Amino acid sequence: MKNRYLAYIAFVAILSSSCGTTKKQAISDVQTKPEMEEKSISDDDKNEFEYTFIEGLKQKMIGNQQAAITLFSKCLEINPTSSSAMFELAKIYSSNGDLTSSSLLLEKAINIDPQNKWHKVLLAQIYQQGKQYKKAADLYQQLYTIDPENLEYLYMNASLLSSAEKFDQAIEVYNELEKKIGINDQISVEKQQIYQSAGKKKEAQAELQKLIDFNPKEPRYYGLMADYYLSEKDEANALKYYLKILEIDPDNGFVLFSLTSFYRQKEDKEKAWEYVRRGFLNKTADVETKIQYYMMIMAEPEKPFFTADQVDELVNILVKTNADDYRVFTVYAEYLISKGKLAEARDQLRKVLETNKDNYMIWERMLMISNDLLDFKGIYTDAEKALELFPNQPLLYGLRAVACLQLEKYSEALNILNEGEPYLLDNKPMKIQFDLYRAEANYKLDRVEEAFKAFDAVIQLDPENWLAMNNYAYYLSLRNENLEKAEQLSGRAVRANPENSTYLDTYAWVLFMRKDYTLARFYMDTAIKNGGDKNGVIVEHYGDILFMLGQKENALEQWKKALETGEGSTLLSEKIKQQRYLDK
């Protein structure tokens, strides 16, 4: 019997070069003390306010946000000028993405309590999220005025002024910050970028030169200057600074890859290969940089810069020099897959799982390779192991069900599908796959009515599921039932896939069952021309059609070819022996 189902299917400021550390405190860590304005507030109202406010904090702490909103809103009913209640509500709204409500509450809270820095910090962050950079910068200026020891406020003021394209003001603030902490590479780079954007090349270069003069032995500063010149299309100066890095640090991995990119842009394959090979051999270059560079090399396989042998050498260097990093084996596996070496790629992924068995994506990739290899015993075993670790992944249930179908474990396939059903949720594509596998399992168990209901469910969910239509039609034809529906379903699949030999064979077989042998042969000839001659079942069907057309010698020849493939029906040998068509 022909097997019709297919196998699957905020910010970071670094201000530590020459100054002490600054204080940091997250907004969420601030404990708000409920305040009560005395005027027109009775003692009973005070007590109710405090109780309600504390309950609101409790509800917020346990994650019951809606209850917290109700309680803090009630606080404002008791005391409409409570900036603390406004602040707590603003934090909740902000965390839920309602920046408008949050900013309105904070603006009102700041009018009531203008010295409270936490209100301003949160509002500044919200303005920043909403790309209101100038308003956020102004708030950080106010915060710095209140707390001039907190240089982070000054840094944020400058950064946000730059984002607001207030470049002159940003430079002034960066200069003020630099006077307080000394030369700092982050500040210099940001000033350089502002100057460069404004077309002030001399000033941009001066900022980077200042870093080099400050620490002439720091390779990174020469790299910044090289990158600057490269962005200005000044290749000669860029190369000069890249080579300067190698003078200082001959094994600097960063510059080796930078020089590779430089020579790639110049289409100098020999020089590019020299430096990329040195980069991959370099033990000080971190593995992530090597992997990222490899991925960049492979990003455009249709336009390869390096030869296949060179890429092969780089991959082998990567594996040999970083054998303790599991990411290397995933890269190697993908490389082997690109070469069609699926079994070897799967072996590499198994190595990853020896030390990283909790990596779901590796399990999935390995199982899909087994699927491509048609290794259903491997899928059956590995999917079971994966399900022990990831019992909520519907794909694993689907793959194991496919394996069960191929291994003729039909009842087990149904059980697996039932176990995975609760995890489908709104995953429509997987729901369709589950119903398709359920149809196949039920049919094999001779639960024909359940099978056909499942096929109908698949087609209703996915009116273009040609596989379901093909299989449904084939099973109807085998049972000689509802052949009109079978012809309609199979015809739709063939019209959408006119070169699919399996679909063409099904359509021809439906026509055969309807005794339209001439038209059946037309579609079977097309199936044979499209690779069907390698499928024993299709070849046997071809012989059956030829026999009915009176071509007994040709029919016998096709049956013998089918027998040589090791496929075909249980009646094939008897057909050859009796030299006639048999259907029972």
3-state class of 29 per DSSP? helix
**Which tokens in the block code for residue 427?**
């995953």
pTM for this predicted structure = 0.59
CATH number given to 468-584: 1.25.40.10
- Cα(312)–Cα(339) distance, integer angstroms: 10
Q: What is the pLDDT along the chain (584 residues), one digit of tens a residue?
A: 444 333 333 223 333 333 333 333 334 444 444 444 444 677 888 899 999 999 999 998 888 889 999 999 999 999 999 999 999 999 999 888 899 999 999 999 999 999 899 999 999 999 998 899 999 999 999 999 988 988 999 999 999 998 888 988 998 999 888 888 888 888 888 898 888 888 888 998 898 999 899 989 888 888 889 888 888 888 888 888 888 888 888 878 778 888 888 888 888 999 999 989 999 998 878 888 888 888 888 877 778 888 889 988 998 898 888 877 888 888 888 888 888 899 999 998 998 898 889 989 999 999 999 999 999 999 999 999 999 999 999 999 999 999 999 999 999 999 999 999 999 998 999 999 999 999 999 999 999 999 999 999 999 999 999 999 999 999 999 999 999 999 999 999 999 999 999 999 999 999 999 999 999 999 999 999 999 999 999 999 999 999 999 999 999 999 999 999 988 888 999 999 999 999 87
- Cα(361)–Cα(367) distance, integer angstroms: 10
Would you state the pLDDT for residue 33?
47
Q: What is the DSSP letter of 381?
A: H
- Cα(501)–Cα(494) distance, integer angstroms: 9
C-alpha neighbours within 13 Å on the C-beta side of residue 94: 24
Angle formed at CA 271 by CA 267 and CA 277, multiple of 5 degrees: 115
Torsion of CA 492, 497, 502, 505, to 10 degrees: 60
Longest distance between any two alpha carbons in the chain, whole Å: 111
Angle formed at CA 351 by CA 345 and CA 354, multiple of 5 degrees: 145
**Which tokens in the block code for residue 137?**
């910068």
Would you state the pLDDT for residue 491?
95
Domain boundaries, the chain: 251-307, 468-584
Distances (CA, A) of 481 to 187, 219, 287, 487: 79, 79, 62, 11
> What is the 3 state secondary structure string of 330-374?
HHHHHHHHHCCCHHHHHHHHHHHHHHCCCCHHHHHHHHHHHHHCC
> What is the 3 state secondary structure string of 240-265?
HHHHHHHHHCCCCHHHHHHHHHHHHH
Tokens 């046997």, residue?
Answer: 540
Would you state the pLDDT for residue 259?
86
Instruction: Give rounded-to-5 percent helix, strand, coil for the chain.
Output: 75, 0, 25
Would you state the pLDDT for residue 303?
81
Residue type, position 431, single letter:
K
Tokens 């149809």, residue?
Answer: 439
Runs of H (alpha helix) within 421-535: 428-444, 448-461, 466-478, 483-496, 501-513, 517-529
155, 15 contact by CB (below 8 A)? yes
Would you state the pLDDT for residue 18?
36
Would you state the pLDDT for residue 13?
33
